[in-house]
Amino acid sequence: DIQMTQSPSSLSASVGDRVTITCRASQGIRNDLGWYQQKPGKAPKRLIYAASSLQSGVPSRFSGSGSGTEFTLTISSLQPEDFATYYCLQHNSYPPTWTFGQGTKVEIK
């Protein structure tokens, strides 16, 4: 099984800060990775798919990068509505399975 390690588990940041969250896969997964934002009591919302493609309607301050085993979600200028928990999601091709990262809680400094 492919393991996903997401870091950090939490971070404190201020409005306007640049924030970076990382996911590492135990083996190469090409670009089969997505990023989600989840707010309390809500379903996760997709931000990024295929490692770097921005979901329609998601602000351009969100970006994803990486391929193979290391992936990054960057928020270029943190906004008040961005305080939430973020998850990466890895897809394994055969058999089709999915594994979430452990989550990163972004809190107000």
Partner 1 sequence: QVQLQESGPGLVKPSQTLSLTCTVSGGSISSGGYYWSWIRQHPGKGLEWIGYIYYSGSTYYNPSLKSRVTISVDTSKNQFSLKLSSVTAADTAVYYCARAVVADPSSFDYWGQGTLVTVSS
Q: Under the rule (CB under 8 A), what is the footprint of partner 1? A: 1, 31-36, 42-44, 46, 48-51, 55, 87, 89, 91, 93, 95-103
CB of 94 to partner 1, least distance (A): 10
Q: How far is CA 65 from CA 29, 73, 74, 102, in A?
A: 13, 7, 8, 19
CB of 14 to partner 1, least distance (A): 25
Question: Is the CB of 32 or the CB of 82 nearer to partner 1?
Answer: 32
Residue type, 36: Y
Question: Is the CB of 74 or the CB of 103 nearer to partner 1?
Answer: 103
Question: Is the CB of 16 or the CB of 40 nearer to partner 1?
Answer: 40
